[in-house]
Amino acid sequence: MLEHQAHRVMALTEWEERWQNNRIGFHQPAVHTMLKTHLEEVVSGRTGVRFFFPLCGKAVDMKWLADLGHLVVGVEFSEKGIREFFEENNLSYTEEPVPSIPGARLFKNSEKNIFLYRCDLFSFSSSVAGQFGAIWDRGSLVAINPKDRERYAGLIVSLMAADCRYLLDTLLYDPEKYGGPPFLVPDAQVQSLFGSCCDVKHLQSVDALTDRTRAWGLDSLTENVHLITLKDAGAQTQPR
Ligand code: SAH
């Protein structure tokens, strides 16, 4: 199944073009239902959790989590997407260069609980903004070019603090019917990408077929959500 999309490449300029032409059907106006459903399991009794949003777009989930008292760090290539996020949520913001990433810019709201980096995700690392207590990955692993998945998984794992709870949303459909993005990510691949260092728990599957995805030529689409934690996380918090 995977070979159908293995060589599909979406250049960063193509993403930017989509933003410029408002072809951003991936954007949802309301907080994602699966994030809401599983938030307690992700937060796990903690307060003020540092959430990472890879490929964040202008997801309203970021504002929602910040309003709940968490801190949000996102990475997005499109400057238009980042500005629209702050403007559409009525947040005043400032911007500055990022000394450790040439060409990148950091946008932050005046309350200083939402920090969005405008750069290629692959130039981001834990040396820029530390590690995270939670990750919400919706439209990110499924948007990355399939050939970059191992590299992506390595980067994400390096951004996970010992107690990190990583909520990953993936999609299953027939790749002969639609070429992506979003790309298909079978559960077996989630396991092969993260299973060596992480425990992967399947939390929920929902039928995600809508008029929009039917128009892609699909007659079936399943959205899966997984909770990923570092394998030795428990060991690290045990008293010695
Ligand atoms: N997570 C968001 C956006 C999903 S669409 C949501 O759920 O709404 C994928 C987004 O990733 C697009 O906004 C695109 O501009 C951005 N993107 C794609 N490749 C990227 C990369 N390598 N680095 C940073 N952003 C990227």
Predicted confidence (pLDDT) per residue in 108-138, tens digit: 999 999 999 999 999 999 999 999 999 999 9
Contact between 132 and 115 under an 8 Å Cβ cutoff? The reply is: no
Residues having CB closer than 6 A to ligand 1 are 12, 15, 26-27, 55-57, 59, 75-78, 81, 120-122, 138-140, 143
Give the position, in ligand 1's atom list, of the atom nearest the Cα of 120: 23
Residue 238 has pLDDT above 70, yes or no: no
- Band the pLDDT of 3: cuts 50, 70, 90: confident
Q: Where are the domains of the chain?
A: 2-235
Strands 50-53 and 71-76: parallel
Q: Class assignment of domain 2-235?
A: alpha beta
Two structure tokens written together for 136: 């919400």
Contact between 80 and 20 under an 8 Å Cβ cutoff? The reply is: yes
Residue 4: alpha-carbon gap to chain centroid: 23
Q: What is the pLDDT of residue 234?
A: 56
Contact between 179 and 8 under an 8 Å Cβ cutoff? The reply is: yes
Phi, psi (deg, nearest 5) at residue 14:
-70, -35
- pLDDT tens track for 80-96: 999 999 999 999 999 99
- pLDDT tens track for 18-41: 999 999 999 999 999 999 999 999
